[in-house]
Structure 1
Amino acid sequence: MSSSSTADNFTPVFDGHNDVLLRLWSSSEANPVDRFIDGEKVGHIDLPRAKKGGLAGGLCAIYVPSPSMEKDANGDYPTPEHDSALRITLGMAALLAKIEAKSAGGLKICRSADDIRTAMTNGAFASVLHIEGAEAISADLDELYVLHQAGLRTLGPVWSRPNIFAYGVPFRFPSTPDIGPGLSDAGKALIRACNELKIMVDLSHMNDKGFWDIAAISDAPLVASHSNAHTLCTHSRNVTEKQMDAIKETGGLMGINFGVSFLRADGQKITATPLSEMVRHIDYIINRIGVDHVALGSDFDGTTIPDALGSAADLQLLIAELRKAGYDQETIDKIAYKNWIRVLEKTWA
């Protein structure tokens, strides 16, 4: 793997969450594969901007949009029907496969930690196929096994809406994540199957009861791929101190979400938010559970990020902010990519 201690201290980043597949799939523009490979002026991630900012790879989410953004009486977004969700999921997975095929080595779908290391060494974008909200999977779990064969290696049972597996925590501020019931029987079976297949389970959109149900069942590290410290920003999507302690005990991690609404103490969607807000959360998590349990989970192409970090091309500005805060290169390397690779390797082994 290329050293991060080059003359200009350029540090590679492996990131825990992006929604670039959704952006490309849902765009009205033609040729999404070419736009990702050649670059474009919209969104946060494409290959040229990833290379410029040192984004060496990450978890590429398949998220099926709700059929409507009108909430029901309980404040929940409507859940997609299975058949539609499966069609969309396969479409996004195919899009990633087409990018890999056409990128001339520019992107690699990774199924192991060694795949990630090799891709980073070769300068390829190390992409891990992730599902955010398992509406494409039926209660018999047949689709899970097929998707695993296609490269699926991480899965969040829910987005912030209910499905047959669990109740996704709604977007609320201020609020604890203790909203709604935990895993259904089907959800418990899903977690056991993910453990069997060595698929990482992502807790970022789980409510409190669902979190603890998974903690009781799973034998893998607990991971919240793109969530921040609830003590600093009391958003329902963020991780409580008790949850953080459980993450530490299992050798898991939290990926810092770049979304301003999950960073700011006031929970406001204000893009004039300094990068020091990210460092504030990183500091807090390290002080609580240690440097081995914090990483990055940008939510690029899926949330509103600070103006100071306009896209993946600007990632080294965050690295510079960490240096400014006093972090040495060894610690920065852990936060930027080593912790993710370690936890994925432990989960997939």
Structure 2
Amino acid sequence: MPRTSLMPVFDGHNDVLLRLVRGKAEPERAFLEGDNIGHLDWPRMKEGGFVGGFFAVYVPSDATGGVDVDALMARPQYDVPLPPQLELGPSQRVTVQMASLLIRIERASNGEVKICRSAADIRHCIDNGILAAILHIEGAEGIDPDLAMLDVLYESGLRSIGPVWSRSNIFGHGVPFRYPSSPDTGPGLTDRGIELVKACNRLKIMLDLSHLNEKGFWDVVRLSDAPLVATHSNAHAVCPHSRNLTDKQLAAIRESRGMVGVNFATSFIRPDGMRNDDTPLEEMIRHMDHLIEHVGVDGVGLGSDFDGATIPAEIGDVRGLPRLVDAMRRHGYDEATVRKICYENWVDVLERTWGH
């Protein structure tokens, strides 16, 4: 086990880059020295045993349409309106800005943060107390139709991409924030989306299926030769939200030797689909049990959505991860299972995906 008294946690998804670019000046310093805002910064990560994860580049929409999303998602049923498709130019500027921020954090960290391009990089970081960061894109709005930007980002360290966030783009269609609902909410990948999947397979960039709708999911199953991975999704059988995965989808992930990271967002955890931080950790464990049953103990991890979601108050921020680990142990998971879920499975599936 890595040299730490805490159970190491490697995480499938966070939005700290978005929080930092929206925040104060000197975001690198805020992250590295700690600003105690939101869920994540490096000092708090060390307190919670957070050893690495996927750092999302996400282009937000300016238009909100005046919708009070919190009030809407407190209802027994809801369907949150999605923003329109984004333009390429502004999306590329934000994508470069956020990718550059992660690179600058690495550069300013004096060796404490590393953008990882291989499973060997991740193992080295975990063993030596270095934060292992994967450059990830959530929604490919910054990728041009000819995929030239994909090559540029790959050389900058990009190793994981979700073709869509929930809004549509030129590559496909995501699931809305709708409860109750199946993930079968619209058409699948476009022709450009098919080409993006093929290009990611060639480059060995991991494809994240978390926000893709069901038809798009099955398009990737048909096209991809890599393990199927959903970095931050839960079990639809436990919470019938459009963002969660059906048992049929979980069976396909298991067949591919893929992976699901359990999302901490309460609206995807709770059987009632509500955004409410008064959510017991036992509700998260129900999802883990279901995923272990349907994907296998080697295919389940954590995908917190830190800095991007309402999470259980019992966790609070990254410093609360040991409380989740304790809940897993109380539930009866042995130490080997806890280690797999907390970090080993992520490293293994990335090695199978990246080839090294």
- Which range, TM-score by smaller chain? over 0.9
Q: 1:96 aligns with which of 102, 114, 122?
A: 102
Higher mean C-alpha displacement, 283-292 vs 56-65: 283-292
Asked if the contact 2:306/2:317 (under 8 Å) is kept, the reply is yes
Matches within 5 A, 1:1-349: 2=2, 10-27=6-23, 29-70=24-65, 75-349=81-355
State the Cα deviation string for residues 185-239 of structure 1 (Å, max 9, x = none).
Answer: 0000000000000000000000010000010000000001000000100110000
Name the SS of the counterpart of 1:295 in structure 2: strand
Name the CA distance, whole Å, in 1 between partners of 2:80 and 2:313: 33
Shift of 1:289: 2.3
Name the CA distance, whole Å, in 2 between partners of 1:137 and 1:289: 31
Shift of 1:122: 1.5
> AA paired with 2:18?
L
Shift of 1:67: 2.5
Name the SS of the counterpart of 2:241 in structure 1: coil
Shift of 1:23: 0.3
Shift of 1:120: 1.1
Name the CA distance, whole Å, in 1 between partners of 2:149 and 2:296: 37
Name the SS of the counterpart of 2:56 in structure 1: strand
State the Cα deviation string for residues 286-345 of structure 1 (Å, max 9, x = none).
Answer: 122210111000000000001111111111111000000011111100000010000011
Name the CA distance, whole Å, in 2 between partners of 1:41 and 1:101: 22
Asked if the contact 2:328/2:338 (under 8 Å) is kept, the reply is yes
Asked if the contact 2:254/2:294 (under 8 Å) is kept, the reply is no
Asked if the contact 1:70/1:78 (under 8 Å) is kept, the reply is no
Asked if the contact 1:67/1:80 (under 8 Å) is kept, the reply is no
Aligned length: 344
Shift of 1:3: 5.2
Name the SS of the counterpart of 2:179 in structure 1: coil
Unaligned runs of 5+ in 2: 68-78
> AA paired with 2:14?
N
> AA paired with 1:2?
P
Q: State the superposition RMSD in angstroms.
A: 1.5
Shift of 1:281: 0.4
Name the CA distance, whole Å, in 2 between partners of 1:115 and 1:174: 41
Q: Normalising by structure 1, report the TM-score.
A: 0.96
State the Cα deviation string for residues 135-188 of structure 1 (Å, max 9, x = none).
Answer: 001111110011000000000000000000001111100000101101000000
Higher mean C-alpha displacement, 280-289 vs 177-186: 280-289
Shift of 1:31: 1.3
Unaligned runs of 5+ in 1: none
